[in-house]
Amino acid sequence: LAKEGLPKKACQRRLAKEGLPKKACQRRLAIERRLKLFREGDLHSLLREGRVIQSRLASNEGKSRNALKAFTRLMLQGKVGQALRAIRESDVAPVPITPSVIQELAKKHPPSSDSSTLLNGPLLPKTDCMFSQISAAAVIKAANTLTGSGGPSGANSDLWKHILLSKKLSPSSTELAQAIATFAVKLATEPIDPKHITSYVASRLVPLSKKPNGIRPIGIGEILRRLVGKVITRALKPDIIECTAPIQLCAGLESGVEAAVHAARDLFESENCECILLVDASNAFNSLKKKKKKMR
């Protein structure tokens, strides 16, 4: 390798990839042994040794998985810059913004479909007692569970926690929590012109690479929107479970996903079952009819 003009470090990396020991004397003995097998025509032994070495080489899959874990952890901490740097050298990396990328992202958000894609059923009557639990205390309790980076404003979860939970900012923090609770109730009970909440629903869009040649859009919304969503969801938790169960098993139903796994396994092990078909709709969420989704 050195005679080929490769640097010393490059030679060491090449030898390591070929499953050779680190010490020079051990490398020489390993190469001589393999050359002897080659001269004797014992190709089966060489191939068997090659398979063993190949099975012990570090794969890029583990590296990509670790990069995704680091990316998720840093994004939940609100460290967007560090998260993007963590995946820059992996298979999942931010995609440069080009006209073709913008066009591809536009395809990910098509106009809503006119066909009905939701189950029909009676709507539950809305009463004021549904949202009686939304208060400043409920907002502060939900703020304790906030994680992640901020939307276009840049205000991440740590900043919102400091504003709402810091005793130094009291009583202003309590007044802000009460204002958020009032806004949440108004948002859940009264019709609001979408033009008045454009900043509230705005998101940052980060395009990531997706195998083999696709793009995965990552939307990062405002922390205030997540906080209001948590407060309203907790107030409506019994109603959500009643409306979605047993079709939706991850909407607060205890051990719902575990039950689905056992049911699928029992179905697959049945004598009358030959196969299980897993259906995955392309870009399903963005293709729903938006007006009906809001009504339901």
- Tell me whether the omega of the peptide bond preceding residue 246 falls within 30 degrees of 0, making it cis: yes
Which residue carries 């919102």 as its tokens?
160
Quote the pLDDT of residue 266. Answer: 87
pLDDT, tens digit, 9 for 90 and up, residues 15-49: 444 555 556 777 778 888 888 888 888 888 888 88
Give the closest residue to 242 by CA, choosing from 258, 255, 253, 257.
253
Quote the pLDDT of residue 96. Answer: 82
Question: Mean pLDDT for the chain?
Answer: 77
pLDDT bucket at 3, cuts 50 / 70 / 90: very low
Quote the pLDDT of residue 296. Answer: 38
Provide, rounded to the nearest whole percent, the portion of the chain with pLDDT above 90.
Answer: 21
| Torsion angle of C-alpha atoms 258, 279, 248, 230, degrees rounded to 10 | 100
Provide, rounded to the nearest whole percent, the portion of the chain with pLDDT above 70.
Answer: 73
Q: Is 207 helix (H, G, I), strand (E, B) or coil?
A: strand
Q: What is the reported pTM?
A: 0.62
**Which residues lie below 8 Å from residue 140, measured CB to CB, with a gap of 6+?**
164, 165, 174, 177
pLDDT bucket at 224, cuts 50 / 70 / 90: very high
Cβ neighbour number for residue 58 with a 10 Å cutoff: 8
Give the closest residue to 152 by CA, choosing from 204, 207, 78.
204
Give the closest residue to 293 by CA, choosing from 105, 124, 112.
112
- Tell me whether the omega of the peptide bond preceding residue 171 falls within 30 degrees of 0, making it cis: yes
Quote the pLDDT of residue 2. Answer: 44
The two three-digit tokens of residue 156, written as one number: 């991440």
d(CA 42, CA 36): 9
Q: Is 185 helix (H, G, I), strand (E, B) or coil?
A: helix
Quote the pLDDT of residue 142. Answer: 95
pLDDT, tens digit, 9 for 90 and up, residues 176-211: 999 999 999 999 888 889 899 999 999 988 888 777
Stated as kind and residue range, the H or E segment containing 32 is helix 24-39
Quote the pLDDT of residue 199. Answer: 92
| CA distance readout (Å), 257 to 264, 269, 278 | 11, 18, 16
pLDDT of 8 strictly over 80: no
**Cα angle vertex 151, ends 147, 152, to 5°?**
160
pLDDT of 156 strictly over 50: yes
- Tell me whether the omega of the peptide bond preceding residue 212 falls within 30 degrees of 0, making it cis: yes
Please name every residue paired with 62 in a beta bridge, in sequence order, or none if there are none. none
Mean pLDDT within 201-225: 85
pLDDT bucket at 125, cuts 50 / 70 / 90: low
pLDDT bucket at 293, cuts 50 / 70 / 90: very low
Q: Are 76 and 146 in contact (CB under 8 A)?
A: no
d(CA 176, CA 170): 10
Higher-confidence position of 51 and 185: 185
